[in-house]
Amino acid sequence: MSEKPVLVDFKDRVCVLTLNEPDRLNAMSDEMAVVFNETIQQLKQNSLPKVLIVTGAGRAFSAGGNLDKIASGFGMDPGKQKKQSFDFYNCFLSIRTLRIPTIAAINGHAIGAGGCLAVACDMRIAAESAKIGFPFVRIGLHPGMGSEYLLLNSVGQAKTYELLMTGDIIPAAEAHRIGLVNHVVPDEGLMDKAFELARKICAMPDLPIKMMKDSIPAAGSSSLEETLHRQASYQAINYMTGDFKEGVNALREKRKPHFKDSD
């Protein structure tokens, strides 16, 4: 077993969080869940990172829930099992409470809860050899870890039905075709592509990026009028900032803007 189930590394203003149980294909144990959640809570208090990249050590992103843990739930009191599952899911889905953009760099298989963690990130880049699937039904389980919610918002209802009811594990190219991942790249170029995207975002002013972390998911459950009110409110705040003034001046002067919090 690896010394730490989750590793954190900072490169400029990009934070890389690595699931670090490669000998077990980064299967998601209770210990990993606790450390993952603690790491996210620490990041929420850290003003340095502007983007988080999540990836896996070794040849898998994550094989999903630890099979021994899953098997131990057989015959358990339903109330106790429900609480355990709910708490376990929320440890990993705490990533959605971050106010910075998140990118999943899917370096290998992302299966079950591992696939859900990847889809819980705001954006996804997959290595060509990666595969993604949600095969809960293949072991007689209803899907977990918010999979219906996450997939509906990524690929729509029909594909959500198909992926969850068949348990199919799809290659990266198919995941890209249906909109589940943003980019597919050669395996050796995965982290380079993830950092390229992260640094593009880091070069943007901080406030509108943080606002979009709220406004983009909110738009999915809002009317057009509600969206317009939200946009007008957020823009009114942006108009008061030095970064907005700098952006306008840079455009007029045909130069690169220098935002106060960019790299």
101 & 160 share domain: yes
Task: Give tens-digit pLDDT for 137-184.
Answer: 999 999 999 999 999 999 999 999 999 999 999 999 999 999 999 999
Closest CA to 203 of 250, 240, 252, 253: 250
133 & 196 share domain: yes
> Which residues touch 185 (CB under 8 Å, ≥6 apart)?
125, 126, 127, 128, 192, 193
Task: Give tens-digit pLDDT for 239-257.
Answer: 999 999 999 999 999 999 9
Task: Give tens-digit pLDDT for 38-69.
Answer: 999 999 999 999 999 999 999 999 999 877 77
Q: Is residue 260 part of a domain?
A: no
96 & 166 share domain: yes
Neighbour-count burial for 204-226, b at 16+ CB within 10 Å, e otherwise: bbbbbbbbbbebeeeeeeeeeee
Which residues span the domain enclosing 17?
6-202
- Residue range 60-79: mean pLDDT, rounded: 81
34 & 150 share domain: yes
Determine the pLDDT at residue 2.
Answer: 47
Q: pTM (2 decimals)?
A: 0.93
Structure tokens at 207: 């406030």
Determine the pLDDT at residue 262.
Answer: 54
Domain boundary among 180, 202, 224: 202
Where in the chain does DSSP place strands (E)? 6-11, 14-19, 51-56, 60-62, 102-106, 109-111, 123-127, 131-133, 169-171, 183-185
136 & 226 share domain: no
Domain total of the chain = 2
